[in-house]
Structure 1
Amino acid sequence: MSSSSVPQLLLTGEHEAADGTELSLREAFALLRPRLRPPFPLRSPSSPAEYHQLILALAYGALSDHPRAARAHLVHLHATVSDGYSLFTRTLLHLSLHSFPRLLPSARARLLSVTSELIGTAAVGVDRLVVSLLRWVHIGDFSPPNLWLAEQLLGVLTLRWSWLLEEPSVLTSALFLFLRLLSDHYRLAAGDGRMDSLKSAEVGFCVRALREQFHLCVAIGRDLVRLLQDLVSVPEFRRLWEDLLIRPSDISRLYRRSTPAEYLLMGITPEMETRMRFLLSQVKTGSRRRYLEWFAGKFLRRPEQEAAAVDLVRFVCCAHHPPNEVLRSDVVPRWMMVGWLLTACRKNYFAAGAKLALFYDWLFFDEVNDSIMNIEPAILLMVNSVPEYVELTQTLMEFLLLLVDHYDEGRRDLILQSVRKAFREVVRKGVVQSLDALSTCSLISPALRESFTRLIHGSNPAQAQAVD
């Protein structure tokens, strides 16, 4: 059978190279296609290589063949599988991580349907597949395909709620994503039937998770508070927030818990992660402009895409910690990337969110449990922006002072002590030699310098000496 008659799986541009994974799947399907029609052979594959080839062929057919044949391929799979679906699931996971944007719409729909079926069979590795699919929902993207993907995944997870409770990492990853999406979706005016329906489903899922499984949700850590505060104008979340305020120990427990990097990855797609890690590990500072322009054109071009800058800042600070050889090289440093992301925020709302993302770990910093790498970009951005971009330095200093005073007025003393610990630690660890560039710079307004000095030193001269 000619491979030209094999159904298509991926969209391939005129000048794009063939996808290696699709080629191997396609070849397996073309080779075994005569054996994939009922009645299926009664014998199982006689060797691991034959089994491997058959699973690849069934994966391709399940995603690309016409509906009745695709269903038959899944029946064949269930009758043949001998490894807990591990190879089949790994194959779908690889397609999801590396090829999802190029999958034909029909193949995307099949992938989600097959994933739901794999959940029902307790397939090995299906948890990782679900998380990878969740990550392809773009923040700041209101296009029909993106809204469709959010709707479909929400439907799968709601249908498979009992399974979710057995996979708390998937539950909390989904909660992080849909809370983040809600803050975007609620900025749109009501009246769009599809969006209103999606928002209602997102609210239902998130509130159910938080009400029924809060003990699991705390695994998200302090960023859960940040996400919930973005939603206090939504009635269901306002009531939930009021209930949390009655139990202040819950909020304090979240503040003390640094958010694991895997949750912060939920705010950016696998493609964005790959490109950003490349920029921060391979691109030299002097060559950064054209790469940054490409990144902005791809991911931050439209005004609503600015929302993703918030998640990118959190990723850079808390999920990308380069090794020492990169830190000592002339590769684009993280602080410079954060500065560029801040300039990408033209709307005040997104700019404030990005600055909060930058300083968030400062507000609850504990030198025992928090990584200094999470707070390093902010101090280096403030110090290195003097004198050429002193306006940016002043803006960040003013924002940090506002956060200390107003972010959580009931815990102002805790936040003040945490910020002072952070300043002491960046000096002690040699991230900066001293804070003189901020506290004595004549280009910074005297009133701001005075407020900043009080912030870091307090009224105790011994504290000032310790910090400097």
Structure 2
Amino acid sequence: MGSIKMDELKRMEIDFCIKALRQSFDLCFRIGRDLVRLLQDLVHIPEFRDLWKDLLFDPTKFKFMGFNDFSDLYRLKTPSHYLSLRITPEMETQLRFLLTHVKWGSQKRYQQWFAKKHLNWPSSETLIPDIVRFVCCSHHPSNEIIQSNVISRWAVIGWLLKCCKRSYFEANAKLALFYDWLFFDEKVDNVMNVEPAMLLMVNSITQYAEITHTLMEFLFLLVDNYDAERREVIVRGALSAFDVMVRRGVVSSLEPLTSSELISPLLREKLSSFLSSSSGGVSIPSQEEESAENKC
């Protein structure tokens, strides 16, 4: 009896979502690029598969002048309050406490407590990508917090990635982490949304180089395969993200990623080649240049 009611509820949810997307797409469009990320996980459901095909090949069906191609959605940053709605109020309160008050060295017991409360039941891994998006886009610490010894967002995300036991959910969590990189536009996007991935890669090199390695590999996988028809949009977004983070001082340079011997030569070469493909090139100071800057 319970399973029948659950099936009925699922059917009602599907019908409601499809109706909203088809009849009120102008409102749904405001969700922005994360609408694409969420819908692509539902294409195994026939109704959503048909919707996806129409979005790709017949956008005029949605009768919204602002939507002619997926790139129109890609360009629209998802407002942070939408991402907050993807987790419960209790989870939001506890995450904000962790990222505002918990000091380095004390985070483990709080993380264990959070995991036991929210990530210890079947299918709880499905929550992790939404938590990652919340941390990246909805919780931006003040400069005072950033300069204190409060646990950093990048470290919490590193822990969340380790909580993924299955590769599918880990891939979704990494996609959530890098999603704004793919379409980054300095005019509309916030550097704080892309900062955690960069700092996680850079700060993991010394002790956890495998994390840096897998994240760099995944980023290149996204650039090459996420949307092959719109690859130039994604290349431009990723290059812009790298460039802005150097110019804004998130990292002093990209030299740790392009020169560290702890990272495979193939990946270092691929990153250097990718960065130099931009029209102006992304600045990668040499070790000598960095030393000179530090002396100044």
User: TM-score, structure 1 length as denominator?
Assistant: 0.58
Partner of 1:434: 253
Which of 226, 231, 236 is matched with 2:37 structurally?
Answer: 226
Distance in 2 (CA, whole Å) between partners of 1:268 and 1:197 is 24
Query: Are 2:9 and 1:198 aligned?
Result: yes
Partner of 2:177: 358
Distance in 1 (CA, whole Å) between partners of 2:276 and 2:244 is 13
Distance in 2 (CA, whole Å) between partners of 1:401 and 1:357 is 15
Distance in 2 (CA, whole Å) between partners of 1:243 and 1:338 is 35
Query: Which amino acid counterpart does residue 140 of structure 2 have in structure 1?
Result: H
Distance in 1 (CA, whole Å) between partners of 2:35 and 2:284 is 31
Which of 222, 234, 238 is matched with 1:403 structurally?
Answer: 222
CA offset at residue 450 of structure 1? 1.3
Partner of 1:463: 281
Structure 1 SS opposite 2:42: coil
Contact 1:423 1:467 in 2 (8 A): no
Structure 2 SS opposite 1:280: helix
Query: Are 2:110 and 1:291 aligned?
Result: yes
Distance in 1 (CA, whole Å) between partners of 2:215 and 2:165 is 16
Partner of 2:203: 384
Partner of 1:217: 28
CA offset at residue 387 of structure 1? 1.3
Deviation digits for residues 245-269 of structure 1, max 9, x if unmatched? 1237242221111111111112110
Deviation digits for residues 57-82 of structure 1, max 9, x if unmatched? xxxxxxxxxxxxxxxxxxxxxxxxxx
Which of 310, 315, 333 is matched with 2:134 structurally?
Answer: 315
Distance in 2 (CA, whole Å) between partners of 1:300 and 1:457 is 41
Deviation digits for residues 127-163 of structure 1, max 9, x if unmatched? xxxxxxxxxxxxxxxxx8xxxxxxxxxxxxxxxxxxx
Query: Which amino acid counterpart does residue 281 of structure 2 have in structure 1?
Result: Q
**1:119-134 equivalence runs, <5 A:** none
CA offset at residue 237 of structure 1? 1.0
Contact 1:420 1:457 in 2 (8 A): no
Structure 2 SS opposite 1:426: helix
Is the radius of gyration larger for structure 1 or structure 2?
Answer: 1
Which of 411, 414, 419 is matched with 2:238 structurally?
Answer: 419
Partner of 1:370: 189
Distance in 2 (CA, whole Å) between partners of 1:333 and 1:287 is 12
CA offset at residue 467 of structure 1? 4.9
Structure 2 SS opposite 1:281: helix
Distance in 2 (CA, whole Å) between partners of 1:223 and 1:432 is 26
Distance in 1 (CA, whole Å) between partners of 2:69 and 2:7 is 31
Percent identity between matched residues is 56
Deviation digits for residues 409-431 of structure 1, max 9, x if unmatched? 01001100110000000000000
Which of 134, 139, 148 is matched with 1:329 structurally?
Answer: 148
Partner of 1:162: none
Which of 245, 257, 262 is matched with 2:56 structurally?
Answer: 245
Contact 2:224 2:231 in 1 (8 A): yes
Structure 1 SS opposite 2:68: helix
Contact 1:424 1:467 in 2 (8 A): no
Distance change in 2, residues 1:459/1:361 (3 Å): closer
Which of 77, 80, 85 is matched with 1:261 structurally?
Answer: 80
Distance in 2 (CA, whole Å) between partners of 1:459 and 1:375 is 19
Query: Are 2:147 and 1:342 aligned?
Result: no
CA offset at residue 447 of structure 1? 1.1
Deviation digits for residues 14-35 of structure 1, max 9, x if unmatched? xxxxxxxxxxxxxxxxxxxxxx
The answer for unaligned runs of 5 or more in structure 1 is 1-143, 145-191
User: TM-score, structure 2 length as denominator?
Assistant: 0.90
Distance in 1 (CA, whole Å) between partners of 2:170 and 2:41 is 14
Query: Which amino acid counterpart does residue 31 of structure 2 have in structure 1?
Result: I
Query: Which amino acid counterpart does residue 125 of structure 2 have in structure 1?
Result: E
Contact 2:39 2:52 in 1 (8 A): yes
Distance in 1 (CA, whole Å) between partners of 2:85 and 2:226 is 24
Runs of 4+ in structure 1 displaced over 3 angstroms? none
Distance in 1 (CA, whole Å) between partners of 2:123 and 2:20 is 28
Partner of 2:288: none
Contact 2:71 2:230 in 1 (8 A): no
Distance in 2 (CA, whole Å) between partners of 1:409 and 1:198 is 36
Contact 2:255 2:284 in 1 (8 A): no
Query: Which amino acid counterpart does residue 359 of structure 1 have in structure 2?
Result: F
Contact 2:200 2:212 in 1 (8 A): yes
Deviation digits for residues 318-361 of structure 1, max 9, x if unmatched? 00011110011010110001101000111111101100000000
CA offset at residue 448 of structure 1? 1.4
The answer for unaligned runs of 5 or more in structure 2 is 60-66, 286-296
